[in-house]
Amino acid sequence: MVKLEIRCPVCSKRGNIEVSEEEVKSSTRGLFAVNIKENIICAHSFIAYVDKNLTVRDAYTADFQIELPDTNEAIEVGVDKAVTDLIDISLIKLNLTVSNLAYIFRAMIYRNKILFISDQDFLFEKIRQFFEYISQNSYELDIDFVNNIDFKAENYKDYVIIKGPEIINDPNNLFKKKKLNVERTIAERFISEYDSTKSLILLKNELKKTYELSNSIMKIISKLEDGKKVYSKQIINDLEKEHKIRISMQYLDFLYEITENYFNVEIPKSSNISNFLGTL
């Protein structure tokens, strides 16, 4: 058994836990999930991920997970070997946490410029290539990189700025009271998948799925008569018919965010209670 220091992602209190070194290093997922129950570190429960070097990679509350919808449509079935030779997926996973990816996905769907600060310049081009690949045929991502030494806050006032595990600038309050449930779930699937190539396919597919479903919602809205409202149940049914997919209300709310903030299409929603009753 080895002792690891863990920091609660809710209250920042630190404490120690013991894990089996053998179990961590034999994990087939690449990362070992540790479920921290209430009153072990503090009053909160959360999940910590430990890599095979016995380093705590990330920690976050255990209630963010949602079920991602499966589609019968073959969005992507493989990755060209030239891509896997170019993108060092293991290196990406060692340097980008679930939180980092969730922050970037959130800023991306709001079309916010992103700045990633690090003292490891050699990573910048590798991370850029990674994001260029996973956003192909879907989102435009405006991300830049700067070394700690060269960073000047006055030059990046309108950027979402990520430094280590923290957001140090949030000009449009994208992360205020936001749990990033879907973004975190997508990121966690990528990070925790042991097979590097499979994890890359999963991530690209999940992003493309959100893009295509939101694009379909945009088209539905464009065909509405003036003054007509949309009902969530009807949207869910329409998406199921077109894409052979069934989505939850929570996932639909995420798609609404993309439709309104990435595609800049206002959704004439019916009242919340009408939407709720319509899904029963």
DSSP 108: H
Task: Look up residue 39 and give its amino acid.
Answer: N
Tokens representing residue 167 in the block: 């957001």
Q: Please give the torsion angle defined by the CA atoms of residues 271, 261, 92 and 76, in that order, rounded to the nearest 10 degrees.
A: 80
From first to last of its 280 residues, what are the pLDDT tens digits of the chain? 888 888 887 777 888 888 888 777 776 556 677 888 888 888 877 788 787 788 887 777 655 556 788 755 444 555 666 666 678 888 888 888 888 999 999 999 999 999 999 998 999 999 999 999 999 999 999 999 999 999 999 999 999 999 987 899 999 999 976 678 899 889 988 887 878 888 899 999 999 999 999 999 999 999 888 878 989 999 999 999 999 999 999 999 999 999 999 999 999 987 654 454 444 4
Tokens representing residue 233 in the block: 């149940």
pTM (two decimals): 0.79
The closest of 236, 224, 237 to 266, measured between CA atoms, is 224
Q: What is the CA radius of gyration of the chain?
A: 20
Q: What is the phi/psi pair of residue 236, to 5°?
A: -60, -45
Tokens representing residue 136 in the block: 């192909």
Angle at 194 between CA 192 and CA 199, to 5 degrees: 75
Q: Which three-class secondary structure state does DSSP give residue 267?
A: coil
